[in-house]
């Protein structure tokens, strides 16, 4: 039985005052549960505040990105060990915004995945197709290639301590959600790809869905056997909505 996971990706949103308020509200709505893990990924600069405020809450936190390098002259970068130092459990790698806006390719994503695990952070590896790829029937093969690019570098055993997030690009921040059937099809495919290499790892791998998850569509997504939770963007900035999604995952 896989434990559900709901992760909030705050993206580049917020202010010190806004974060204080949102964390207070979240702590009011959410209590730690045996059935679902909950984490938020704020912008780097808010990690000290988040790690302090959520210390006793049972809620966890992570980053939206990390450097593939350990230390050195890499201006503007943040390493996995620095994130661990601030209590992060998770880090998102390969979000489609990083791939499309900041030019991260599969090799960068794989290097970041490995760097995360070397500091005992759990990478949340994002994969997903564009609308054009979906329309031309290439979605399943594309997602498989994105997974294999990381398996080739990190090894299949590394997926025992990782999370995969299926995020169709056309559904991110657009208000268009994949139907539960579309999402389940890709999730089952991802699990099948991993199972063909290591059935045990596939059984325990948590595969999250991301793409306009809201309080009113979360339950029907989570009802599917291969959907183990969600990576939530916009709705994670509204405490009541994020809490409702977390409850649906329990």
CB of 7 to ligand PEP, least distance (A): 9
Question: In this complex, which beta carbon is closest to ligand PEP, that of residue 202 or of residue 206?
Answer: 206
> Could you confirm whether 167 is annotated as catalytic?
yes
Residue 9 known to bind ligand: yes
Candidate list 63, 184, 212, 217; residue touching ligand PEP; CB under 6 A: 212
Of residues 7 through 26, those in contact with ligand PEP by CB under 6 A are 9, 11
| Ordered DSSP codes for the chain | -PPEEEEEE--S---HHHHHHHHHHHHHH----SSEEEEEE--GGGHHHHHHHTTTTS-EEEES---SSSSSS-TT---HHHHHHTT--EEEES-HHHHHHS---HHHHHHHHHHHHHTT-EEEEEE---HHHHHTT-HHHHHHHHHHHHHHHH-GGGGGG-EEEE--GGGTTTSPPPPHHHHHHHHHHHHHHHHTT-HHHHHH-EEEEESS--TTTHHHHHTSTT--EEEESGGGGSHHHHHHHHHHT-
Candidate list 233, 242, 243, 245; residue touching ligand PEP; CB under 6 A: 233
Question: In this complex, which beta carbon is closest to ligand PEP, that of residue 68 or of residue 177?
Answer: 177
Does 211 interact with ligand PEP (rule: CB under 6 A)?
A: yes
The stretch among 109-117, 183-191, 232-240, 242-250 that binds ligand PEP (CB under 6 A) is 232-240
Name the catalytic one among 97, 104, 129, 167: 167
Question: In this complex, which beta carbon is closest to ligand PEP, that of residue 150 or of residue 208?
Answer: 208
Candidate list 42, 128, 210, 229; residue touching ligand PEP; CB under 6 A: 210
> Could you confirm whether 187 is annotated as catalytic?
no
Contacting residues toward ligand PEP, per CB under 6 A: 9, 11, 167, 172-173, 210-213, 231-235
């Amino acid at each position: 039985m896989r434990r559900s996971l709901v992760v909030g990706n705050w993206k580049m949103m917020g202010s010190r005052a806004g974060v204080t308020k949102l964390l207070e509200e979240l702590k009011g709505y959410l209590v730690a549960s045996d059935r679902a893990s909950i984490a938020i990924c704020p912008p780097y600069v808010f990690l000290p505040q988040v790690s302090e405020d959520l210390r006793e809450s049972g809620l966890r936190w992570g980053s939206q990105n990390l450097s593939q390098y350990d230390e050195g002259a890499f201006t503007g970068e943040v390493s996995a060990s620095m994130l661990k130092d601030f209590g992060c459990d998770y880090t998102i790698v390969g979000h489609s915004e990083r791939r499309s806006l900041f030019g991260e390719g599969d090799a960068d994503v794989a290097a970041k995945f490995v760097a995360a695990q070397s500091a005992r952070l759990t990478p949340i590896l994002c994969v997903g197709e564009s609308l054009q790829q979906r329309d031309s029937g290439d979605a399943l093969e594309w997602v498989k290639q994105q997974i294999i690019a990381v398996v080739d570098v990190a090894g299949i055993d590394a997926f025992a301590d990782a999370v995969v997030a299926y995020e169709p690009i056309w559904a991110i921040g657009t208000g268009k959600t994949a139907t539960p059937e579309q999402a389940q099809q890709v999730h089952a495919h991802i699990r099948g790809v991993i199972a063909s290499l290591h059935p045990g790892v596939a059984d325990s791998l948590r595969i999250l869905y991301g793409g306009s998850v809201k309080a009113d569509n979360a339950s029907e997504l989570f009802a599917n056997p291969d959907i183990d939770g969600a990576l939530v963007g916009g709705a994670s900035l509204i405490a009541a909505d994020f809490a409702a999604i977390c409850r649906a995952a329990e």
